[in-house]
């Protein structure tokens, strides 16, 4: 049974209700990579007809979270520790582009927003709340993309961070703490460089931030999986 079965239906269509439950369960790794998604079973469990379930699965397929094979059925898209390299290479490229745009146009309000996030991350770090820190870390990097107001850049960034979120819940939650202290220092440095408009230094830091994260997680995962 899905733990999100009691998710409130208020103001949601049946399709939105099913989509929200399944997407959240996939992102939290409650529905595991490679797990089969049987429409009739999901329909019965969620108390809806097969039609909204089928529509929700098609939406999730478009996001890359579900794979649907004709005459075979649907399953949760596979994800593995090996994806760390791909995820961080993409994040590095996307964030370098974002910083190239932002360094010359970021506002004081934007800076304040990023500082607020880093302060909240600091509190999570000091209380060793890894889950909270990880969620805020993703929000920090998503906000950097959002400030550019470049729709495609935002969409691609969100898609990659969704992959990272699944990877973290499936494999990385116990070891994310290895990166927290260094990441915090680098986030604060990013804000200072943004405020000063130092594009070259920002892009170099983004490359360093992502490459070191990639190497750290790959090394830790190699020991554990």
The CATH class for the domain spanning 14-76 reads mainly alpha
3.30.420.40, 1.20.120.530, 3.40.50.720, 3.40.190.10: CATH of 83-224:
1.20.120.530
Question: What integer pLDDT is reported at residue 1 of this predicted model?
Answer: 46
Equal CATH topology for 14-76 and 83-224:
no
Q: Give the C-alpha separation, 180 to 166, whole Å.
A: 18
Helix 130-148 and helix 151-167: axis angle, to 10°?
Answer: 170
Mean pLDDT rounded to a whole number for the chain = 89
What is the pLDDT, as a whole number, of residue 150? Answer: 96
Q: Given a cut of 70, is residue 6 above it in pLDDT?
A: no
Give the residue extent of every domain in the chain: 14-76, 83-224
129 phi, psi to nearest 5 deg: -90, 85
Q: Is the confidence at residue 192, as pLDDT, over 80?
A: yes
**Each residue of 43-99: pLDDT tens digit?**
999 999 999 999 999 999 998 899 999 888 999 998 888 888 999 999 999 999 999
Structure tokens at 48: 């809806």
């Amino acid at each position: 049974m899905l733990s999100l079965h009691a998710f409130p239906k208020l103001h949601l269509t049946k399709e939105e209700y099913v989509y929200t439950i399944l997407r959240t369960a996939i992102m939290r790794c409650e529905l595991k990579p490679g797990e089969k998604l049987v429409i009739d079973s999901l329909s019965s469990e969620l108390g809806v007809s097969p039609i909204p379930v089928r529509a929700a699965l098609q939406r999730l397929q478009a996001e890359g979270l579900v794979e649907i094979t004709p005459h075979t059925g649907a399953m949760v898209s596979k994800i593995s520790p090996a994806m760390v390299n791909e995820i961080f290479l993409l994040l590095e490229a996307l964030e370098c582009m974002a910083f190239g745009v932002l360094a010359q146009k970021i506002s004081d309000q934007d800076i304040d927003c990023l500082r607020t996030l880093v302060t909240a991350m600091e509190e999570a770090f000091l209380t060793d709340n890894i889950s909270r820190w990880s969620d805020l870390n993703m929000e920090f990097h998503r906000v950097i993309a959002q400030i550019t107001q470049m729709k495609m850049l935002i969409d691609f960034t969100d898609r990659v961070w969704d992959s990272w979120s699944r990877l973290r819940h499936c494999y990385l939650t116990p070891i994310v703490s290895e990166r927290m202290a260094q990441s915090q220092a680098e986030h604060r440095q990013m804000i200072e460089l943004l405020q000063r408009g130092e594009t070259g230094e920002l892009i170099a830091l983004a490359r360093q931030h992502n490459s070191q994260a990639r190497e750290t997680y790959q090394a830790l995962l190699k020991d554990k999986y």
